[in-house]
Amino acid sequence: MRRLLVLNALIFAVLAAAAALAYYGFSATSEQSSRDRERTLMQDLADEKVANLESLITTADESLMKRIELDKLDDEQFIKGLREASGAAIASVYVLDEHFQFVPGGHFGRKEPEGTAYRDWFTARVLPPQPQGAGLADRLARLESNVRKHLYLNVGLTNGQETTTPKPYLLSYMKRSSGGRTFYVIIEDDTTYIQFALFPQFFVASSKRLYQVVDETGMTRGGEPFVSEKDESLVERKFYETFDGWALRVAQRDTPDVAAEQRKRFINSLLIGGAVAVILIGLVALAFAVRRERRLNDLKSEFISNVSHELKTPLSIISMFGEMLALGRTKSPEQAHEYAEIIWRESVRLGRLIDNVLDFAKMERGMDVYEFSEDVDVIETVARAVELSGRRVAAAEMTMTSVLPEDMPPARLDANAFTLAVMNLIDNAVKYAVDGKKIEVSLRLDGSIIVLAVRDWGPGIDPEEQHRIFERFYRAKSIRLKPIRGSGIGLALVQHIARAHGGEVTVSSKPNEGSTFSILLPIDGKK
């Protein structure tokens, strides 16, 4: 009886220790998962805020630079319109001819005498060629037409001379052509306005997070100083299109819970004393649980991160332009119409993303989502996909051509699913091959195989990654280094649709030579 009691007591002790150790493991894993999610959220938040701020600045600069017309620089009303359109974020505008000389009337913005001092400094120190091609004239000579570039400087300026008190200068420039003449537009963005007006709008501290902008020397340029810059939860994101070397830092506010810390220490003390006898078993169980939980959490975090990137961008744009319309911050009915069109376009983009995610989720669960018809007009289906994607292509300032045969036998397809697959390939080309400026959609019949090809002239895909780009949530390394949003399910969805139709999707690509994605389907729907 006594031995049985001891055995029962031992079993009870083992179970109690195992339960306590499992509780500790679960708590530790949940806490780590919470920290991972919070850090991922802060990374997404920092990416979004930096991207939105830079997009606001670069879009305004590009819009102004493309409105400059040489034959109207002596028109006071035209210059007045440019001043009003430029807003407070632009300090001055210079227009140079093909010899990098000021054209008549090609300087406006800063008031005299500050404008004269700045122009003299600009002409003497910034514009002339410099060693290793670092001068602005060197950069202009290498510039492609209608492409915005920027130059960030951190120097001092007093009566045209450098001083020991540096100040940030941000220059945006573009090469233009008009009436057979080549000219250059240089914009000096008002960094003071950006720091003290835009930064407070974009980087507002909350009850949970602090924001800080630092320059290349570590000097605080916006936000609040942090108590500790070595905080493991601190997230840092660089500026790429404006202030080179500047970075946005995001950190959590320090809100310790004394009672929770004391409770945690007490529980840990009990676990250490009670789990000694079963530590090996507990460690094995804990290691298995943590490994499994981490794998699931990594997959969830990656998917949430990718989709949240895609969702936040159109939501932020809709919110921003909607607020501007609601508050009446428009200068003309045309501008209000432009804002409304942007909101509509981003709403369509958001709807397409949500449809993609929902369709992908249903397909992954094995739901019967395809409705095949025996006599689908393939040419009409592809033409409809091209038409539906036309506005997206035009908004990206790209051109799209379609090469469709005059006649093709009807095929056994799900027309809606095939349309979605074609639109996803076009959207993929718009998103990742925007530098190529053009897309070609072609359709042909190779024996009994339908071949739908979408070709772009973008940067291409590394051969080592071509076999992985159709995996769920996978994004190429070169793309992950760029501020290009994506959920990583578009090509996986195309592959799922192709295989459901008894076909396959392939890619042919070489770096710097573009890519061609092809959907190959049997015309009778049988493998």
* pLDDT bracket for residue 238 (50, 70, 90): very high
* pLDDT bracket for residue 442 (50, 70, 90): very high
370, pLDDT greater than 60:
yes
350, pLDDT greater than 70:
yes
Most confident of 189-193, 262-266, 345-349, 480-484: 189-193
- Least confident span in 40-54, 223-237, 278-292, 332-346: 278-292
Task: Compute CA distances 356 → 146, 359, 424, 501, whole Å.
Answer: 34, 5, 9, 18
CB 57, CB 189: distance < 8 Å: yes
Tokens of 336: 């209000």
Per DSSP (E only), the strands in 417-503 are: 438-446, 449-456
Average pLDDT over residues 428-435: 79
Secondary structure element (H or E) that encloses residue 373, with its range: strand 373-376
Phi, psi of 237 (to 5 degrees): -130, 130
State percent of the chain over pLDDT 70.
71
CB 52, CB 316: distance < 8 Å: yes
Q: What is the pLDDT of residue 356?
A: 66
Taking CB atoms within 8 Å and a gap of at least 24, the contacts of 15-18 are 16/274, 17/274, 17/275, 17/276, 17/277, 17/278, 17/282, 18/275, 18/278, 18/281, 18/282, 18/285
Strand order in the sheet with 449-456: 399-403, 438-446, 449-456, 515-522, 504-509
378, pLDDT greater than 50:
yes
- 52-101 per-position pLDDT tens digit: 999 988 888 888 888 888 888 877 777 777 767 666 678 888 899 998 89
Q: Three-class SS string for 15-82?
A: HHHHHHHHHHHHHHHHHHHHHHHHHHHHHHHHHHHHHHHHHHHHHHHHHHHHHCCHHHCCCHHHHHHH
194, pLDDT greater than 80:
yes
Q: What is the pLDDT of residue 519?
A: 94
Q: What is the pLDDT of residue 450?
A: 92
User: Domains in the chain and their CATH numbers?
Assistant: 11-256+266-277 (no CATH), 304-357 (1.10.287), 373-522 (3.30.565.10)
Q: What is the pLDDT of residue 383?
A: 92
Which comes out higher in pLDDT, residue 462 or 5? 462
522, pLDDT greater than 50:
yes
Identify residue 445 by its one-letter amino acid code: L
Tokens of 220: 């605080």
Tokens of 157: 């300026």
């000021």: which residue's tokens? Answer: 102
